[in-house]
Every structure is written in structure tokens, then in C-alpha cells.
A and B are shown apart, each in its own frame.
Chain A
């Protein structure tokens, strides 16, 4: 490992080392490197100063916070009768946290798709609705060296059968020249 790469690797771990979160061997590796590398030592010094400043800002906090009325605030909430929409919004808020949201997104997509597909039942002739009787199917089979695509239009009872040969496949297997254009 080059020196620069090694320093980068160590610098990524100095914070965890200061937090005492590295394995024994990992911590020893960082310690030994810091003894011989002034640049990484400087990085450590900066991180220590940052950490001390963070502690001073975040832990000090405002001096005159009183907790005397804290419990009464919680108790009031416990004793207050909640109206149904507060409970509903609380439930909805719980649902909107990221892990639940991961399930919610596909669930909403499925519901929307189901809604779109069932529109025709409620609003016959709606432009938004997916028409069930306009059904198209494309099938691809390989029989006698040909592929078959079938397109059915159920409303007018029209079926289009499209036969074509797979030129690439033919070339590979037989080397014969084939016409790739569709024949009806």
C-alpha cells in the first residue's frame, strides 16, 4: 500500500479510534501510524479540537431550563382526551418514517394501478380507464424455425398473426440466407 493510500485509510478511522470503537488490532494499527506520521497527527489534533468544541457547544446548553413543570406537561397529554383525527395523524406520522415508507411506496403504486384498471367498471367508456375488451397479446414461440406473434383485439374479434424468422438464429445454426421481413 502506498504511503498516501495508507494515510487516507488511517484518516478514515481516526474518529472511530478516538471513540474507542476499533478492534484491538485496528486501534493498534492507527496508534502506530500516528506515531510516525505528522500529517495524520495534525488530522488527529484537528479532530480532537473539533470534538472538544462540539462538546462545549452541545453539552453546555442553556443554563436556566427548569424541569419542574416537565412532568405536568406529559401528564396533561396523558389525561387529555384526544379527538379521532389526532390519533389518525399520529398513526399516519408513524407510518411515514423511512422504514415504513419503504413498504408504503409499492403499496400506493399497486393501489393506483388497481384503481386505474377498475375505472372501466365504474365509469364505462372513460378515457382514463384501461379497456378490458381491447386486449393485445404478443406470443413468441419457436416452431419450425419461425417465431409467431399474435395480436388479438377482442372488441372487433380481430386476430393478427405475424410470422417471421429469426435471422440471427438461422445464421448461427444453418448459415442459410433468410428473409427477415414479416409475412402475413
Chain B
């Protein structure tokens, strides 16, 4: 029998750690991908994703189900990733090496959609342009592109209105398009 998220949350609140383990296995990959999209550093992203689950575990007794569990969990993870990204921006040299590693690994993906030289340039330019975005702009791009979340959920996760999400997405895309004009 498949339990819903809310069933598992209630079990966690009653002290069943195994229920929390089930929630972790449901969302670990999604949370990791969102954090990786923001940080571009695999090790840091793994740390932040695990810490986000830990923080969710500690706060789960206070979760009343006012929003869905996943938007609540994403909110914790995205806020932590944004904080970590700000720390990264202050110390860019510290994570440069790891970021290059991620890019190399991504080049090894079997069905590489960026097969020719022009597209590879586009990919490199795109990664640089994404890294230049502000944390808030990057977050809306990731949540929309990676997760395909509706604006309402993105707003709930980031603590802003749907209108703000729409406006941030518009300006983030405009910035990316401006930097990648030669490739599009």
C-alpha cells in the first residue's frame, strides 16, 4: 500500500523515523537536482540537500499541512541553497575546481543534446550566463525548468506572489537571451 506524503508526515510526527526515510527516498533526487542547479557543485549540493532533509526532520512536528509537503521541503532546500550560493559568490575560487568537474561529467552524458561545436559553445555560454544570475532569478529558472512547477507553487516555495514569479522569470529569461543572442 502506497502512503501519501501527508500520511508519512503524520507518522514522522508520531516518531517513526522509517516514514521519514521513505519521504527522503521519494524526494532526494529532485531536491538534489534543484540544489545542484543553484550551486553547480556536486559535493556542496549533496551536503546542502542532506542538511535540508535534516532540517525538515527537525521541523516536521511544526508542519501543519497548510501547504503540500514538497513545497515546504523545497522551500527549506532552496533557501539553504540560496544562502550557500551567496557564500560561494563571496569565495568563488573555493568552488571553481568542483564546478569544472560537474561540467566535465555533464559532457559525458550519453545522449548529449549539445552535439556540435556551436551547441557546445551555447552550452558553455548558457552555464556562464546562469551563474551570473542573481540567486532569486536562478531559483525561478531552476524550479520552472527542472521541476516544471506552476507559478503558484514557485511563489509558495520562494515566499512571493505569482506575479513576482512571472516578473522574475521574464527578467531572468531576458538576461539569459541578451547574453546568448549570438547562439539563439
Contacts and interface: CB of A to CB of B under 8 A. Distances in A.
B177 A47 contact: yes
Given A58-B146, A71-B21, A77-B51, A63 B122 contact: no
B170 A15 contact: yes
B146 A59 contact: yes
B142 A58 contact: yes
Interface in A98-140: 98-99
Contact of A63 (B36, B57, B109, B145): B109
A42 to B, nearest CB: 10
A62 B127 CA distance: 14
Contacts of B66: none
Contact of A78 (B57, B102, B130): B57
A51 B148 CA distance: 11
Contacts of B123: 53, 56-57
A-B interface, 7 closest residue pairs, ranked by CB to CB distance from nearest: A62-B105, A77-B54, A56-B113, A73-B50, A46-B184, A74-B53, A54-B145
9 contacts: A21-B150, A52-B113, A53-B122, A57-B130, A59-B145, A60-B109, A61-B106, A71-B21, A74-B24
Given A16-B151, A62-B36, A71-B25, 12 more contacts: A52-B113, A57-B127, A58-B142, A58-B145, A59-B145, A62-B42, A63-B108, A65-B32, A65-B46, A71-B21, A74-B57, A78-B57
